[in-house]
Amino acid sequence: MQEQDQGLHIDLARLLHSTAGRRQALRWMAVASMAPLPLLGCDGGATSSGNNSGSTGSVSDGGSSGTSGSCAVIPEETAGPYPGDGSNSNGNGIANALQLSGIVRRDIRSSVGGASGVAEGVPLTITLKLRNSTNSCANLAGFAVYLWHCTREGLYSMYSSSVLNENFLRGVQESDANGELSFDTIFPGCYDGRMPHVHFEIYPSLAQASSAANKIKTSQLTFPLASINEAYTASGYASSVSNLGRISFASDNVFSDGTSLQMCSVSGNANQGYVATLELAIAA
């Protein structure tokens, strides 16, 4: 008489009575416990033309659209006292570089709008890759980034007295279909009390990048200490070397809680210049 199938739990109970059976049962249970689990991943290659968001590090280039994923949102940080985005004043009144003719540019080493100063220092190209944390880390096309930082001496154009009438090291760029944009600038100096850093604000579109009232994210980025130390061997960074010796990421009031989402990948050298890249996500 053929034995009737009484279910997996009965089969397992019988198998557990023998050594070989116990091994087989354990294999069955392991397979059964793993089967329902979904595969998780992060795709950064899909293109999103209507949303905005970005994140760093964990996003993979070259993925295809439609796959699921997640990426950590870059932390919100202070714009500091020298934003030049219309939210405060300098010695000449409201400071708003976003209203200047020519502020939308890749090369931010020179001033625009009638000013003629040029910032000297080790060449640096900063490339940002914007991702949407709420849409499978999709690329964010058509978003605008306003970026600014100090000179190699630690001064901010539009605010520091010696460069009050200059506006160099400030600029706006629009992200392309891959969510990317770049700025050609100089390696920023280190002023007393802060690790070397670059400020940026993200706007929903280039048209809206005219006032801080429209920004949707404010954050800062930084560089590996080895790259900073190497860059500061160049001429003009003597004060930065001194200031850097009195500060660390652990004691910095912005980066002391971690830099994993704000740390650029850097290549190059102090003689030929550097390229710094950061993938960042925002929740659109």
Place of tokens 């006292």: 81
- The 10 Å Cβ neighbour count of residue 161 is 9
Distance between CA atoms of 218 and 75, rounded to whole angstroms? 8
pTM of the entire predicted model: 0.77
* Beta carbons within 8 Å of 32's beta carbon, 6+ residues apart: none
Q: Which amino acid is at 209?
A: A
Can you give the pLDDT of all 284 residues of the chain as single tens digits? 333 333 433 343 443 343 344 334 333 333 333 333 332 222 233 333 333 333 333 333 333 222 245 799 999 999 999 999 999 999 999 999 999 999 999 999 999 999 999 999 999 999 999 999 999 999 999 999 999 999 999 999 999 999 999 999 999 999 999 999 999 999 999 999 999 999 999 999 999 999 999 999 999 999 999 999 999 999 999 999 999 999 999 999 999 999 999 999 999 999 999 999 999 999 98
Q: How far is CA 208 from CA 63, 199, 222, 280, in A?
A: 30, 18, 26, 20
Helix axes 8-15, 19-34, angle to 10 degrees: 140
CA distance 197 to 192: 12
Ranges of H-type helices in the chain: 8-15, 19-34, 225-231, 238-244
Please tell me whether residue 19 adopts helix, strand or coil conformation.
helix
**Which residues, 6+ apart, have CB-to-CB distance to 279 below 8 Å?**
44, 54, 55, 56, 57, 59, 71, 128, 129, 131
The residue assigned the tokens 């968001």 is: 53
43 DSSP β-pair partners: none
Identify whether the C-beta of residue 266 lies closer than 8 Å to the C-beta of residue 278.
no
